[in-house]
Structure 1
Amino acid sequence: MFSSLNHPLREPLSKELHARPFLRIDGPATLSHLAIYSERDEEIHARLLATLTAAMGLPAPAPQHNHYTAQKGDWQIKWEKHTEFSTFTFVDTGAAGPQEELFRGAAMRDLPDSWLAQLKESVLVAVHAELRCGGDAEQTRKQVQALLPGPVLVGTKVLAGGEVYCDWLVHEDHFSRFLVLDLGFREAQAGRLIQRLFEIETYRMMALLALPDARRHSGFLGKLDASLSVFMRRMEQPGEDHDDAYLLRELTRLAGQIEASAGLETRFSASAAYEKLVLARIAELREERIEGFPTIAEFMQRRLLPAMQTCGSVWTRHQQSATRVARAVDLLRTRVNLAQEEHTTALLEGMNRTARTQLRMQHAVEGLSVAAISYYVLNLSGAALRALHAAHLSLDPDIFEGFLIIPVVAAVVLFTGRIRRLGHDEPQRAEHK
């Protein structure tokens, strides 16, 4: 009854804490670890697991699960699905043979060739690990230089009960090698240690995926900065409007190019996250120095940190370049807007001068119109007066016409002024409506 009160995510979130159990290894063992990464085929991880379990006669994996473990006699398999990659870890506790048999990949000996062929070019990490205990571990320690002939041999005491040796070299069989000596591990410590070592190598390689992109992008940023500097120098020089338009188009093109590469942010941020995981897993080893050997932390400090700093600096430079381009576009757009405003102001001033000239001409025409209308009115009045004089009316037409000049002109001036005021008032009334 109480189960009906639970939030639907309570059970899956609670199980998440136990979704990735550590390896449990009792006694000597040989192990192999593969990390599968493919940008083109997202379904390869589940497909490889399903194919392998069917070929090996193991229980089928549950759908939509990110973890799988199975055991067959002395041999066991562990599969984990991560965000970008999946890992296969094979453990064989019954194949601990003589020294010459170390790092022969006994844990992968029975894997079908058809399954291995499906891996194609998706293997990003391949590691063989050997766990030796007690007296066998003491004997194996004497053969470390022969087993790990790389130019840099890392050796360290871990977890206050064992030693780890590795050369971080991909050998002729295309596998790296870890040698783990159990000199007093407590229960389950060996499995946890080896899993951490596999995770360090896997996360290290995942972190380094950003390095080729950083190198390519650094060249792109160099060309972009050079082009931007040329455009900025041209902006400092006075030029024609069409030159500003050209610069604005080119700067916009640069902005588009740098925004098109903004997708690299996901790769660089993932690289930084993987670097933190590497450092966290190294800290969990609780290393102690073996005289004459660099520790894993020292090796990563010298070899991994510079690559990660390169990636970080390239992305910081990308952001700075994007800011510079955006600022240049804003400055040039402001200059273009100011130039357009100056042109608009000059155009309006020209229109004002034209309007004033037209107004003066209109006033002159109105003055001439008053004179012309008055002349015609006086002529008509004179004609009327002469007609009355011819009808024997006692008046002098010339004298009377002279008296009419001032009233007629005044009447015409008032009449034309009223017409002009009506013309000005009509648009204002239309706006109020």
Structure 2
Amino acid sequence: MSAPFLLHEHPLRQRLNNELHARPPMPLAGPAQISYLAMLHEGHSAAEEEAHLHQLCDRLGLPFCPMVDGDHWVMEAGDLRLKWERHTEFSGYTFFRNCPGGVPEFGSALEAFPATWWQAIPGQVMVATHVDFISIRQKDPAPLLAELLQSGATVAASQVAEGAAWVISDFRIQAGFSRFTVIDSHLRPRQAGRTIQRLLEIETYRMMALLAFPVAKEVGRLLGKVEAEVAELMTRMGEARTPEDERLLLADLTRLAAQVEQSQTRTSFRFGAAEAYYRLVQQRIEELREIRLDGFSPIREFMDRRLAPAINTCLSAARRQNDASTRIARKSALLRTRVDIELERQNQELLVQMNRRASLQLRLQETVEGLSVVVLTYYGSQLVNYLAKGSKDWHHISSDVITAISIPVIAGLVAWGTRRMRRKLALHEAG
């Protein structure tokens, strides 16, 4: 008996491990009809979808309804099965109907479920497809392929799983649904389930990838206008002569940069998602392990010819958008440098003028200081004169003589005091 697990477990360990086993393919043991809906669930929560799934159990009279396990749910009711998967942008509903007596020539698995229920599934239909999974004993692929060749219809057909089955589809929407025919030669049940799941994922991911195509066209029109305006601004930049011209140019470049940045913010997710979905399409096609049939394009070639150009357009628009943003930023930086240089030149001129004014003020100050010495000497000598006249009884020297003698003394003291004060102020400013 094994010992109990006592180590401290990370809270996400079980959930991350279960991701390895999430969304397993449904095994197919015999002929069956499969219908698939991919619903864009923007504005609809997982709780709404779960409640709608429980309504189906009530409609079919099931005694119990399986619990939703994360983003995956499976219901079985006799020959009917339903698998629900919730992804980032869409939810997938795969309807199965086992046909022990062989797949009927008309009809679909969806018809076996309540129409009022599946017509009310939350979201908008992005993908709707039917798959007829037929045994080779029911339909020989050779006459069917010969008939398709003779009709001249554009059809993708190939052997998959290293020759264990044939897949035929024109990838066209008729009566709201595209359609696949899978003729089984010797697929094992789980192998058959994986093959059907890959086909449905190819159909889903190619449509999700193409959501970016209209966005790419819109971005292309915007970039055409932006690039033409940038070229015109570059001409104006070469002709700019005044700082005002350069400031106007910089304002226009900033406006264009804001437009491109806004477009990038709005479209970056869509273009990134398109690239990711396209890689998934290529991966699922690779997993089919196709073998070419004479006269028919395999699914890989069909997608390379029809889907790849649209995806390349999207990726090219994304690169072109990034390049436009980089070019505008580079030109804005160049123009800002020119504006900054002009501002520095103007600042230098202002500093020269300020220095000139400071020198003029210093000379005026020195002149005023000289006049101040004269004025202070005059008033000081007058005070001495008043004092001499008031004390003439104490001495025999004339007051005029005393005043004349005091004038150089007062002038020297005032000049010395003024210089000392200026020196202290200079030391204070330097400190």
Checking the alignment, whether the CA contact within 8 Å between 1:137 and 1:183 is kept in structure 2 is: no
Of 78, 83, 88, the match for 1:83? 88
Checking the alignment, whether the CA contact within 8 Å between 1:30 and 1:95 is kept in structure 2 is: no
Higher mean C-alpha deviation, range 384-393 or range 237-246: 384-393
Q: CA deviation at 1:220?
A: 1.2
* CA distance 1:93–1:376, change in 2 (3 Å): closer
Checking the alignment, whether the CA contact within 8 Å between 1:370 and 1:409 is kept in structure 2 is: no
Q: Does 1:194 align with 2:193?
A: no
Higher mean C-alpha deviation, range 309-318 or range 47-56: 47-56
Higher mean C-alpha deviation, range 353-362 or range 119-128: 119-128
**In structure 2, what is the equivalent of residue 355 of structure 1?**
358
Distance in 1 of aligned mates of 2:375 and 2:75: 117
Report Cα offsets for 1:305-347 as digits up to 9, x if no partner: 1111111111111111111222233233333333322222222
Q: Does 1:298 align with 2:301?
A: yes
Of 16, 34, 37, the match for 1:34? 37
Report Cα offsets for 1:64-120 as digits up to 9, x if no partner: 62111222222221111112111111121227667xx53x44311132232233248
Distance in 2 of aligned mates of 1:367 and 1:247: 55
Whichever residue aligns with residue 96 of structure 2, its letter is V
Checking the alignment, whether the CA contact within 8 Å between 1:158 and 1:286 is kept in structure 2 is: yes
Distance in 2 of aligned mates of 1:97 and 1:220: 54
**In structure 2, what is the equivalent of residue 418 of structure 1?**
417
Of 63, 67, 77, the match for 1:62? 67
Q: CA deviation at 1:152?
A: 1.5
Q: CA deviation at 1:272?
A: 1.0
Q: CA deviation at 1:358?
A: 1.8
Q: CA deviation at 1:213?
A: 0.9
Whichever residue aligns with residue 130 of structure 1, its letter is D
**Map 1:381-420 → 2, pairs under 5 A:** 393=396, 404=405, 408-409=407-408, 411-420=410-419
Q: Does 1:211 align with 2:197?
A: no
Q: Does 1:245 align with 2:247?
A: yes
Distance in 2 of aligned mates of 1:145 and 1:41: 46
* CA distance 1:147–1:385, change in 2 (3 Å): same
**In structure 2, what is the equivalent of residue 158 of structure 1?**
160
Q: What is the TM-score with the length of structure 1 in the denominator?
A: 0.85
Report Cα offsets for 1:265-322 as digits up to 9, x if no partner: 1111111111111111111111111111111111111111111111111111111111
Of 43, 47, 55, the match for 1:51? 55
Q: Does 1:324 align with 2:327?
A: yes
Whichever residue aligns with residue 94 of structure 1, its letter is C
Q: CA deviation at 1:144?
A: 4.8
Of 184, 187, 207, the match for 2:186? 184
Other structure's SS at 2:24 match: coil
Q: CA deviation at 1:385?
A: 8.5
Other structure's SS at 1:425 match: helix
**In structure 1, what is the equivalent of residue 15 of structure 2?**
12
Structure 2 segments unaligned to the other structure (5+ residues): none
Higher mean C-alpha deviation, range 127-136 or range 195-204: 127-136
Q: State, as a whole percentage, how many aligned pairs show the same letter.
A: 38
* CA distance 1:394–1:205, change in 2 (3 Å): closer
Q: CA deviation at 1:19?
A: 2.2
* CA distance 1:242–1:56, change in 2 (3 Å): farther
**In structure 1, what is the equivalent of residue 231 of structure 2?**
229
Task: Count matched residues.
Answer: 423
Q: CA deviation at 1:199?
A: 0.8
Other structure's SS at 1:78 match: strand
Structure 1 segments unaligned to the other structure (5+ residues): none
Of 342, 349, 352, the match for 1:346? 349
Checking the alignment, whether the CA contact within 8 Å between 2:49 and 2:122 is kept in structure 1 is: no
Checking the alignment, whether the CA contact within 8 Å between 1:150 and 1:167 is kept in structure 2 is: no
